[in-house]
Amino acid sequence: MLEIRNVTKIFNAGTVNEKTALDHISLRVEDGDFITIVGSNGAGKSTLFQMISGVQIPDEGNLILDGKDITFDPDYMRSTYIGRLFQDPLKGTAPHMTIGENLALAWLRAGNPKPFSRISRKDREFFRERLRQLGMGLEDRMDTPVGTLSGGQRQALTLLMATIVPPKLLLLDEHTAALDPSAAAVIMDLTERIVSEHRMTCLMVTHNLHQALAAGNRTLMMKDGRIVLDLKGEERKALGTEDLLRMFREGTGTEFDNDRILLSE
């Protein structure tokens, strides 16, 4: 379970460029929650993920994961129990290393005690079986450099790397946004299957309002570094994308301002 307690982050404090990215934000994420997050440009979504993953340290507040205060734990320590995918499929993999080598690095980073030089035949068979579950034929290409894969294949591999040892928390930062619609649908289906199979706790930023309501069990809307809507249960199930926009407008007095928004059902 993740608790974000009164977290504030201000960039360029005391200057004309001062920007409050997170404004005393608090959030309780229960084990097994799959929360989708949407918001206007500059709402604080990415900064929130930076705080959780340890890339940024809050100016105020605390982050508690499974009862442990991780507020000042650096990102390399959190990477052993927090998985993260980015919008860019090129991030998260080493392009000149093979599929098998990338999986081995992910396996080791997540806490497997074996040194890289001693990845066994049994480990390789484990990697092959996990690749087979992606349904892309990558299990027969383990010696292929990752840089030769398509964007969809690479994002699928990154998803597998982030979850090969199920993390305590999985962060998905618009991880389908850079893909064509067909590849995005495949990656989203894989995401939901893997998260469900391992009962992972997951936070997903998306610019697709239909996806925000269709995936997971809870939807947050952010504006100006604050959570302005927290929807779940029967209330969420009854909503469509136009309802979501209306509720945002009524709750904030402004239109949902995101030039990349997708409304398709």
pLDDT at 251: 83
| Distance separating alpha carbons of residues 36 and 27, to the nearest angstrom | 13
Residue among 122, 155, 156, 127 at smallest CA distance from 142? 127
Q: What is the pLDDT of residues 16-54, one digit of tens each?
A: 999 999 999 999 999 999 999 999 888 999 999 999 999
| Distance separating alpha carbons of residues 142 and 3, to the nearest angstrom | 39
Provide the token pair at 97: 């290393």
End-to-end CA distance of the chain: 31
Q: What is the pLDDT of residues 233-264, one digit of tens each?
A: 999 999 999 999 999 888 888 877 765 666 55
pLDDT at 49: 97
Task: Please state the pTM of the whole predicted model.
Answer: 0.92
pLDDT at 187: 94
* Cβ neighbours, 10 Å, residue 46: 18
Task: Determine contact, residues 182/112, Cβ cutoff 8 Å.
Answer: no
